[in-house]
Structure 1
């Protein structure tokens, strides 16, 4: 089968995540072509990569490169207009990682109604926000890259919580909770905030106006064990997750991927989340992490995982067991079945 994948966002390729931080959606897109090629398919990828290259038996092409005249399956990533990237396609697929309600925008709906693609969703939460109206839809199981599956948990002393959320997705709330209710009960603990924006602020760089109050708050919280770090490529990021006692995940109603939450689970780091977006789908509540119903519960659970090593280790082991078989080869096999 000839399969064409197309993305029109930022420059990246199948090697990018190994050497630099990359968004979870982009990493998902970069992981699927090689897995499909390993099943014996001929795979072409078109995106904003800097030059054409052969990666894991898939051929990556620059976005404006020569398109195939036809393809058996066209997988358009995130932008509905990409469903028209190849004129003749045996099957068209739209891979959506955003909130479900975005699929009901008039222009998007018109494109979907015209081409009747198979909708690939990444979370059940997406399906609650839109009406399929005759479109076929499938929940594509998500996976993580090998670095997160191969790392071994090694919590550090002093105990460490990690947060990877976008600064605008609840970090202000979390820092307040850390200072008021978590750190006083775990006085040696550190909160490691991985954020490119805040790392730039810590180094004296410019910060967009809307995030300046938060940046100032985070830097002032250094006195309460808050440490700002730059996000890294998969190898170093998996090590950082493996060294944490708990992943604190404030969540956001529009976060349908929760990709770093999947990565921390695979690395054996239990989580405390707020039940927002798709976050509850990424953990097993009470087994690999906790979904906290309110601020007090979130703080109490965070303190427990920071101070009780036996609970932390047991939950981390369960998290690793849940994710160890979730590979991109398995995702590709599921998708292959839908494309036949």
Structure 2
């Protein structure tokens, strides 16, 4: 089967997964393309920037490439990634089977213009969480399905190097940032964790905090920066995010992955399933974690700060 994949988020190359930090959506796009090739399909993946290159069996091309997909050969299936505007992209053949992978607010798809396109093109919508499907009220030719994410290979492989939990460092990891609850996580660490485990380290992988600490980002409040600086002697460390394999190694060596869950809207929880794939328990207030974590088995959904700490 010839499968065309379309994404217009940011410019990236497949090797970037190993060379630089990528967002979870870009990592998932690459992983899906390579997985489809591994199952015997031919895949052309078009994205908004990067170089034209064949890698791991995937033909990586520009979203606005002038040449037709697969050199003009018939396309069997088109996978549109996240953005409903791409359903009408010029590269989408009229007779192709269209799959729309969507990780956002389902209310966006309830808009009349989007519903019309979904209906006319008989699009198969794929959600990443049951909450999306429950909030989606359009009647389509094909009933939407829910496909929850799995852990990426790097995190599963990293878990094999740290299977003995007692041998892991006294380390907790979080990717929470200034808009997703890092202030409360740091406060909990200072108040509850550090007094009980004075040698423990909390590593924060957040670009906004890292750049703000370096004086290169003025969008982070001074109060939060002061909080981070005052927590250094309690083991809090702010780092630049790392490429996928390096992050996998870090998470797999940690004793807990800290997730807030009360801020923002996340219908994927990719970091959560990656952490669980690395056999690292998740601690969270909830949100998407309620759909990804088995409370008391693979992690903990907690009610308050004392329980979090």
TM-score (normalizing by structure 1): 0.81
1:293 counterpart residue number? 303
Q: Which moved more, 1:147-156 or 1:47-56?
A: 147-156
User: Given the superposition, is the C-alpha separation of residues 286 and 110 from structure 1 closer, same or farther in structure 2, using an over 3 Å criterion?
Assistant: same
1:81 counterpart residue number? 85
Q: Does 1:274 align with 2:285?
A: yes
Q: For residues 1-340 of structure 1, what are the structure 2 equivalents within 5 Å?
A: 1-65=1-65, 66-68=67-69, 70-85=74-89, 86-134=92-140, 135-151=142-158, 152-153=161-162, 159-202=170-213, 204-251=214-261, 252=263, 254-276=265-287, 278-299=288-309
Report SS of the residue matched to 1:71. coil
User: Given the superposition, is the C-alpha separation of residues 210 and 237 from structure 1 closer, same or farther in structure 2, using an over 3 Å criterion?
Assistant: closer
> Are the counterparts in 1 of residues 252 and 280 from structure 2 also a CA contact under 8 Å?
yes
Q: Report the Cα offset of residue 215 of structure 1.
A: 2.9
Q: Report the Cα offset of residue 26 of structure 1.
A: 1.0
Report SS of the residue matched to 1:287. coil
Q: Which moved more, 1:94-103 or 1:233-242?
A: 94-103
> Are the counterparts in 2 of residues 117 and 136 from structure 1 also a CA contact under 8 Å?
no
Q: Report the Cα offset of residue 61 of structure 1.
A: 0.6
> Are the counterparts in 2 of residues 248 and 273 from structure 1 also a CA contact under 8 Å?
yes
> Are the counterparts in 2 of residues 161 and 248 from structure 1 also a CA contact under 8 Å?
yes
Report SS of the residue matched to 1:11. coil
1:327 counterpart residue number? none
Report the count of equivalent residues. 297
Q: Report the Cα offset of residue 62 of structure 1.
A: 1.0
In the aligned structure 1, how far is the partner of 2:185 from the partner of 2:109? 31
> Are the counterparts in 2 of residues 104 and 130 from structure 1 also a CA contact under 8 Å?
yes
In the aligned structure 2, how far is the partner of 1:132 from the partner of 1:208? 42
User: Given the superposition, is the C-alpha separation of residues 183 and 80 from structure 1 closer, same or farther in structure 2, using an over 3 Å criterion?
Assistant: same
Q: Report the Cα offset of residue 113 of structure 1.
A: 3.3
In the aligned structure 2, how far is the partner of 1:284 from the partner of 1:186? 25
Provide Cα deviations, 1:120-163, integer angstroms capped at 9, x if missing partner: 11122322332242342112242233221111226677611111
In the aligned structure 2, how far is the partner of 1:51 from the partner of 1:291? 43
Provide Cα deviations, 1:197-251, integer angstroms capped at 9, x if missing partner: 212223x232233544323322222122111111111221111112211111102
User: Given the superposition, is the C-alpha separation of residues 128 and 185 from structure 1 closer, same or farther in structure 2, using an over 3 Å criterion?
Assistant: farther
- The answer to which structure has the higher helix fraction is 1
Unpaired segments of 5 or more residues in structure 1? 300-340
TM-score (normalizing by structure 2): 0.89
In the aligned structure 2, how far is the partner of 1:36 from the partner of 1:186? 45
In the aligned structure 2, how far is the partner of 1:46 from the partner of 1:230? 28
Q: Which moved more, 1:187-196 or 1:21-30?
A: 187-196
Q: Report the Cα offset of residue 188 of structure 1.
A: 2.2
User: Given the superposition, is the C-alpha separation of residues 212 and 113 from structure 1 closer, same or farther in structure 2, using an over 3 Å criterion?
Assistant: farther
In the aligned structure 1, how far is the partner of 2:202 from the partner of 2:228? 10
In the aligned structure 2, how far is the partner of 1:89 from the partner of 1:18? 36
User: Given the superposition, is the C-alpha separation of residues 110 and 172 from structure 1 closer, same or farther in structure 2, using an over 3 Å criterion?
Assistant: farther
Q: Report the Cα offset of residue 41 of structure 1.
A: 1.7
> Are the counterparts in 1 of residues 251 and 278 from structure 2 also a CA contact under 8 Å?
yes
Unpaired segments of 5 or more residues in structure 2? none
Report SS of the residue matched to 1:131. coil
User: Given the superposition, is the C-alpha separation of residues 189 and 79 from structure 1 closer, same or farther in structure 2, using an over 3 Å criterion?
Assistant: same
> Are the counterparts in 1 of residues 212 and 220 from structure 2 also a CA contact under 8 Å?
no
Report SS of the residue matched to 1:88. coil
